[in-house]
Structure 1
Amino acid sequence: MGYLGGPNFPNDPTDLGPLVPLPGGYQEVFDFLGQCGYGGFEFFQLSQNAQNPGGANPPVTQIKSWLDAAGLKSAGTHQGGLGMLNTATGQLSAAGVTQVANADILGHRMIGTAGDPSGANTIAAWQVACDNYNKLGQLLMENYGLKAYLHPEQNNWQFIADPLIPVDQRPHRIDFFVANTDPRYVFLEPDIFHMYNARGRFPNVDGSLWDPISYMQDNWKRLVGWHVKDAVRAAVPVAAPGNPWDQTKVRPGFPINGGMDVIYSTEGHLGNGAQAAAQAGIAPTGYGFDPGATAPSASPGLDPRVWGFRREFTEIRANRAKGFKFHIVESDSGPGPAADPGRSLRHAKISAKLLLGLK
């Protein structure tokens, strides 16, 4: 049982709506998402709670029938990565064969992962990982019409701490990966929250900050979709390598979980953009968005590279009609605590409403 939000939520934080049975399992959740206006779903796994229809591991054909009934498409899966490649033969591994077969059934044309492509942190190890990604990407594209992608999360923005490379010359892992993989065969799925969090967490030796906007502009042909993940600046400024952005906030008037609620898409500072957030009066008090502003300041300290969803989705895609088409709603803080088990579904519902209204 949980609260999915009434018609005036979140403008009226007290309008939680009635306490209702929450949908669970693929069949019910797909139906719920379809009613919320979603067009598709990106998989992280293909299992569910054993008590749901189909059991713990429903047949992929059954999952596809539930997608179809809800009017949803499969956008892709995060079950890919270098484990799909048999490096000895240059062909698919057993796991790769399974993933290609699942893609054919579910209908998605991209397979990726959020994991680090290399278990070691040297230039040589990362070069091997890049070479193998190129092999896997070419194999999937040319033989099966599938795109291999990396979904970079914060580990990917750390530096390659190779002892043979002077500290001030060590590259961010993501920059090395982009420079050493083939844009024809290896694609990227940005995560807005992780990009900006990493911008503040891993500054260069000279204090300069990694630039998420240039990264997306330079690699626009490789972008297969966005994880649309909103956040607000931490209520208390955090110095690197702490997380400068939060995906939850205390919502005045919110009557459960001590007032703590998730940030819905387009509601936070990342979604609005630095300037718009300040103009709307939702900038944090006492300091700006600039990750370097770790103390109260009279100056707004706005980070000019926090563009906001509207500008990112339009300018980076401008005049590129054949570019990516997936805007995937997600929050690392989506799963609610025991006091608020409806949070994840409420996040999906409210975020869809807000994003579909973003022109």
Structure 2
Amino acid sequence: MAFNSNFSRRRFMVGTGAAVAAALSPIGPASVFTPTLASAANGRLIPAGKLGTIAYSQRDVPTRVGIAASRALGVAPTMGYLGGPDFPQDPTDLGPLVPLPGGWAELFEFLANCGFKQIEFAGYGQNAANPGGDAPNPAPGGVTTAQSRAAYLAYARTLRGFLDAYGLEAIGNHGFIPNTWYGPNSAGGTMAAQDYERLQTELEFAAILGTPFMGTGNDPTNSGNRNIEPWTVAGEKWEALNTISQQWGIHLYTHNHSPAYNFLQDGPMVTVTQDRVTGQPIAPTQVRGESGKRLMQHYLDVTDPALCVIEMDVYWAHVAQHQWRWRYDWEGNRVEDIFDPAAQVAKQPQRYQLFHAKDGDATGEAPGVGNGYNFIPFGDPRSDIDYTTFYQGVGAKGHYNANYEQDNAPGGNSDPGQSLRFSRISAAGMAALRG
């Protein structure tokens, strides 16, 4: 597809000077993240073609005025640090102060040069001054019109042009999921007309991008309710939505944070006398018993494997392992039952099509207290999530689409280049994973 803007790779690279060109170059071999000779004999656990990132990690970049747009407007670009010749082996080597990429086209070029191949979107908007402009509203006032649909889909073709220009592929998006669907538990047993028109528009947008998946950053219920009933209803909803999306060849996926791997409340009311976390005596309390099934496992059990797939956030799955360690059985006993994220995936590998490859540094908190981890770049030496063992344990080697994510990657005004430096570190860390 033609590159649908006036942005020029040649003008970008020449106009920003040798310092930026060096900063955008692929990661060199001198890095703490490079595999040793012994490990290099093993195959990559994340194939090159499935090395991705969710643009939420670089969410500050599309929203700022980029280098080309700054030049066109006659304003100074945002300046920052992208790493010097010894980065990332020496993370303190920030390199020279250089103009920073902004907008989708410049971000895609940077990510491609880091080694990323797949892009998961977290929304499609960018600063309107950048090549391609901002994403039009597909449903002004909640109503999709012929005009709003046409403008939105034209923007999709622009984004596709940017992706193609740098050899990138769209793998998914955290975006619009309707609240109504065809089924007895939906309002009136049907889908609202406005939801249907918006969903069809979003699916056509995704089809133009060429992505096989479209989804959400939330769990299937988005309610935080651990009772079995809303999770059963969620299965009905997502099966109905996937029946629609499959007409476009697209699977709709759900996401997880740690609550989605808490224990399903699926038993009778029981009396408990021990604190769930500490085991200390408490006054007799009525709770609903738990069989030991996790919430997301119930969702898998009640949905069609051919329709409904999942994106596991590996970081939050390990937080769940730290947090949800004890349950109350159907007799009211406190039972230790530790979650194993890799074993969860290995039961049904084809249901888990995407991962958020998010790394964590252990906080030292006691089990059941806090999150247990802090966000860090993927492969950072402080990592306490054993990704090698995880990937070796999930089976179906090379199957999963891995998207680097780091919630705290943007450095704000004090360090506007941080999310891009962390992307360099993480691409190298993912590429170095062997087993």
**Secondary structure of 2:402's aligned partner:** strand
Residue aligning to 2:310: 188
The answer to which of 87-96 and 184-193 deviates more is: 87-96
The answer to which of 150-159 and 107-116 deviates more is: 150-159
Rounded Cα–Cα distance in structure 2 between residues aligned with 1:187 and 1:156: 15
Q: Which amino acid aligns with 1:112?
A: G
Q: Which amino acid aligns with 1:145?
A: G
Matched, 1:115 2:218: yes
Rounded Cα–Cα distance in structure 2 between residues aligned with 1:239 and 1:210: 12
Residue aligning to 1:149: 253
Matched, 1:136 2:250: no
Q: Which amino acid aligns with 1:228?
A: A
Residue aligning to 2:131: 53
Rounded Cα–Cα distance in structure 1 between residues aligned with 2:257 and 2:427: 23
Contact 2:343 2:394 in 1 (8 A): no
**TM-score (structure 1 length as normaliser):** 0.77
Residue aligning to 2:407: 332
Contact 1:228 1:265 in 2 (8 A): no
Residue aligning to 2:422: 347
Q: Which amino acid aligns with 2:357?
A: V
In structure 2, relative to structure 1, the CA distance for the partners of 1:100 and 1:176 (3 Å cut) is same
In structure 2, relative to structure 1, the CA distance for the partners of 1:188 and 1:312 (3 Å cut) is same
**Secondary structure of 2:326's aligned partner:** coil
Residue aligning to 1:169: 290
Aligned counterpart for 1:208 among listed residues 334, 337, 347: 337
Deviation at 1:79, TM superposition (A): 1.5
Matched, 1:93 2:172: no
In structure 2, relative to structure 1, the CA distance for the partners of 1:84 and 1:98 (3 Å cut) is farther
User: Can you list the C-alpha shifts for 1:259-304, whole angstroms capped at 9, x where unaligned?
Assistant: xxx4333544345x2xxxxxxxxxxxxxxxxxxxxxxxxxxxxxxx
The structure whose Rg is larger is 2
Matched, 1:126 2:236: no
User: Can you list the C-alpha shifts for 1:19-42, whole angstroms capped at 9, x where unaligned?
Assistant: 112111111101111111111201
Q: Give the alignment of 1:75-86 within 5 angstroms.
A: 75-83=171-179, 85=181
Matched, 1:63 2:167: no
Contact 1:266 1:355 in 2 (8 A): no
Deviation at 1:159, TM superposition (A): 4.0
Deviation at 1:245, TM superposition (A): 0.7
Contact 1:82 1:132 in 2 (8 A): no
Rounded Cα–Cα distance in structure 2 between residues aligned with 1:244 and 1:108: 34
CA RMSD after TM alignment: 2.5
In structure 2, relative to structure 1, the CA distance for the partners of 1:270 and 1:227 (3 Å cut) is farther
Contact 2:219 2:255 in 1 (8 A): no
> How many positions carry a matched residue from both structures?
304
Rounded Cα–Cα distance in structure 1 between residues aligned with 2:235 and 2:323: 24
Rounded Cα–Cα distance in structure 1 between residues aligned with 2:314 and 2:202: 26
Deviation at 1:140, TM superposition (A): 2.4
Rounded Cα–Cα distance in structure 1 between residues aligned with 2:405 and 2:203: 25
> What 5-or-longer segments of structure 2 have no aligned partner?
1-78, 137-154, 271-287, 328-334
User: Can you list the C-alpha shifts for 1:242-263, whole angstroms capped at 9, x where unaligned?
Assistant: 110111xxxxxxxxxxxxxx43
Residue aligning to 2:319: 197
Residue aligning to 1:251: none
Rounded Cα–Cα distance in structure 2 between residues aligned with 1:158 and 1:136: 25
**TM-score (structure 2 length as normaliser):** 0.64
The answer to which of 182-191 and 2-11 deviates more is: 2-11
Contact 2:170 2:209 in 1 (8 A): yes
Q: Which amino acid aligns with 1:57?
A: A
The answer to which of 111-120 and 45-54 deviates more is: 111-120
Rounded Cα–Cα distance in structure 2 between residues aligned with 1:270 and 1:129: 33
In structure 2, relative to structure 1, the CA distance for the partners of 1:265 and 1:94 (3 Å cut) is farther
Rounded Cα–Cα distance in structure 1 between residues aligned with 2:392 and 2:178: 32
Rounded Cα–Cα distance in structure 2 between residues aligned with 1:60 and 1:11: 38
In structure 2, relative to structure 1, the CA distance for the partners of 1:266 and 1:192 (3 Å cut) is farther
The answer to which of 339-348 and 170-179 deviates more is: 170-179
Aligned counterpart for 1:230 among listed residues 351, 359, 374: 359
Residue aligning to 1:263: 377
Deviation at 1:168, TM superposition (A): 3.7
Aligned counterpart for 1:36 among listed residues 114, 119, 122: 114
**Secondary structure of 1:231's aligned partner:** strand
Residue aligning to 1:291: none
> What 5-or-longer segments of structure 1 have no aligned partner?
248-261, 274-307
User: Can you list the C-alpha shifts for 1:144-173, whole angstroms capped at 9, x where unaligned?
Assistant: 221121111123123445795544416432
User: Can you list the C-alpha shifts for 1:183-211, whole angstroms capped at 9, x where unaligned?
Assistant: 12111111110000111112222232122
Q: Which amino acid aligns with 2:422?
A: H
Rounded Cα–Cα distance in structure 1 between residues aligned with 2:352 and 2:212: 14
Deviation at 1:68, TM superposition (A): 1.0
Contact 2:262 2:324 in 1 (8 A): yes
Q: Which amino acid aligns with 2:310?
A: L
Rounded Cα–Cα distance in structure 2 between residues aligned with 1:147 and 1:192: 20
The answer to which of 335-344 and 70-79 deviates more is: 335-344
Rounded Cα–Cα distance in structure 2 between residues aligned with 1:264 and 1:184: 31
**Secondary structure of 2:119's aligned partner:** strand
Deviation at 1:90, TM superposition (A): 6.1
Matched, 1:103 2:206: yes
